[in-house]
Chain A
Amino acid sequence: MTTSDSEEDSYDERSALMSAETPPVPSYQPEQSDPDPSAQGPVLRRAKSSERGPGPEAELDEEEELTLKYGAKHVIMLFIPVTLCMVVVVATIKSIGFYTEKTNQRLIYTPFSEDEVSVGRRLLNSFLNSIVMISVIVVMTIFLVMLYKYRCYKFIHGWLILSSLMLLFWFSYLYLGELFKNYNLAMDFPTVGVLIWNFGAVGMICIHWKGPLQLQQAYLIIISALMALVFIKYLPEWSTWVILGAISIYDLVAVLSPKGPLRMLVETAQERNEPIFPALIYSSGMAWMVGMANPAEERRQQSDAEAQEAGGSLEAEDSPDPSAGAQRGCPSGEDQEEESGVKLGLGDFIFYSVLVGKAAATGGDWNTTLACFVAILIGLCLTLLLLAIFKKALPALPISIAFGLVFYFSTDYLVQPFMDNLATNQYYI
């Protein structure tokens, strides 16, 4: 079973979205073997669909129709966690000043400062920063893929455990401290100790071992939000935008090109029939379709290959290892039990939240934030649609980030002044 037991952070590099395939399940056969009424049906529908092209309502074959039907449900199943993550990040940014304070500290991944006078120099520095960051990410990803290829599982597990330890304990401790300071509450060390210890330990158990699915999903969302907040605080402004763009391009390349590291990871995992480290992937709910066999007796391991995400964890001040987010849906297994659920890499969560959070922190007002939010959801929707059509691992970052960036800049610089002018001059359209 693909319980996510593994580490969480896998942000960056690749976000591959993989669809859950509709299995040709025995339970569907009655519908499919419906001869007469649907005999003309499929022909008509196919003709219609060829005119309209693939779309959510396109009625292709029964199988593909089932796949697309799943698509709608899965879209909702992914909208909710992505929305939650972004809501947490935006709420924190808007209420707690700490994450938007100017700081001279920078991550070692963005060594070039942006305190330059001239625009050209600042732009150059942000491009250089993004080159440094992306190359670190590429190196880390390739390192992880090598480790995976040569079966150094212990190393990978240790790395992931260390990174999730840091996230769950240290970052949440800092977050809690800022929260209390912001609301001017007194809190004592023993209580804080108990709180953080409980939060962290149960998080480790849920993510790396076994735990209730919803709790695990909640923890993955929380750590993605924490990571996104760290990024928002410590990445300089212009560099953030350039990095977002660059990482989407990298994601595209890494997942789709034949020699891309993420694709190699996916294929290796598929060859070995192993699940990818679940801690790096968010898996939306599971719908188990049981065939004839008794599940208790014949529970078999998922023969679905699941994409594994290479990821490392990012540490704020010391030496973050960028983690890749890969998203994968799990193809349905042939045998008795199949799990149908879409998986989205944590990196995707993190970068979506970084985009929306940065828009909330530096953009004009709520217009910009909402526009970016809507853009990302639309991008996610389109990506899932493509996933339903292509049925293989896809990068989830490019479309959403592209839309998000376009919407951010256009809203901030075009729509916002337009609306303000309209309001000032009392002109209603």
Chain B
Amino acid sequence: MNLERVSNEEKLGLCRKYYLGGYAFLPFLWLVNVVWFFQEAFIKPAYTEQLQIKAYVKWSGLGLAIWVAVLTTWITIYQHYRAQWGEVGDYLSFTIPLGIP
């Protein structure tokens, strides 16, 4: 859909729904929210709903940053210590590489 053709109230509603949806373990949704509404929130000239949209975009960005940090930490830990964890490591693994590292 094209944001140009949509009224400001609808834009606000959409931004809000994307923000709320991201709480369901959906950082990707927050990313889409930030990217999609970035221009609306920060670059366009001001209009009534813009303040709220800005707030939603900022909170989405914050949530996204937290998720990225958590995921990166977890992935680093997992990749580094997987072999040492023995059985637990295998249990957690979706794919196990073959061969000798």
Q: Residues on A close to B: CB < 8 A?
A: 1, 3, 177, 180-181, 184-192, 194, 197-199, 201-202, 205, 210-213, 215, 286, 288, 295-296, 299, 337
Contacts and interface: CB of A to CB of B under 8 A. Distances in A.
Main secondary structure of the interface of B (DSSP, over half): helix
Contacts of A3: 1
Nearest to A181: B95
Contacts of A185: 95, 97
B93 A189 contact: yes
Q: Which of B28, B79, B82, B99: most chain A Cβ within 10 A? A: B28
A292 to B, nearest CB: 16
Nearest to A4: B1
A312 to B, nearest CB: 25
Interface of B: 1-2, 4-5, 7-8, 14, 21, 24-29, 32, 35-36, 71, 74-75, 78-79, 82, 92-99
B74 A191 contact: yes
A191 B27 CA distance: 13
A296 B94 contact: no
A296 to B, nearest CB: 5
A177 to B, nearest CB: 6
Given A187-B94, A189-B92, A190-B92, A337 B74 contact: no
Contacts of B27: 198
Nearest to B75: A191
Q: What are the nearest 9 A-B pairs in CB distance?
A: A198-B28, A180-B95, A3-B1, A184-B97, A188-B92, A187-B94, A192-B94, A202-B28, A212-B36
B2 A286 contact: yes
B32 A186 contact: no
Nearest to A287: B2
24 contacts: A177-B95, A181-B95, A184-B97, A186-B79, A186-B97, A187-B93, A187-B94, A188-B82, A189-B94, A190-B74, A190-B92, A191-B75, A191-B78, A191-B94, A198-B27, A198-B29, A199-B28, A201-B29, A202-B32, A205-B29, A210-B14, A212-B1, A213-B1, A295-B5
Contacts of A198: 25-29
Nearest to B79: A186
Contacts of B7: 296, 299
A202 B29 contact: yes
Given A198-B25, A202-B28, 18 more contacts: A184-B99, A186-B78, A186-B79, A188-B78, A188-B92, A188-B94, A191-B75, A191-B94, A192-B94, A194-B25, A194-B71, A202-B32, A212-B32, A212-B36, A295-B4, A295-B5, A296-B7, A337-B5
A31 to B, nearest CB: 24
Contacts of B79: 186
B25 A197 contact: yes
A213 B36 CA distance: 10
Contacts of A288: 2, 4-5
Given A194-B25, A198-B29, A201-B24, A186 B1 contact: no
Contacts of A299: 5, 7
A29 to B, nearest CB: 23
Contacts of B1: 1, 3, 210-213
Contacts of B74: 190-191
Given A186-B95, A186-B96, A211 B24 contact: no
B73 to A, nearest CB: 12
B23 to A, nearest CB: 12
A352 B87 CA distance: 45
Nearest to A3: B1
A291 B35 CA distance: 29
Q: Which of A3, A186, A205, A299: most chain B Cβ within 10 A? A: A186
A187 B89 CA distance: 10
A212 B93 CA distance: 34
Contacts of B82: 186, 188
A194 B99 CA distance: 27
Contacts of A1: 1-2, 5
Contacts of B78: 186, 188, 191
Contacts of A212: 1, 32, 35-36
Contacts of B95: 177, 180-181, 185-187
Contacts of A197: 25-26
Contacts of B29: 198, 201-202, 205
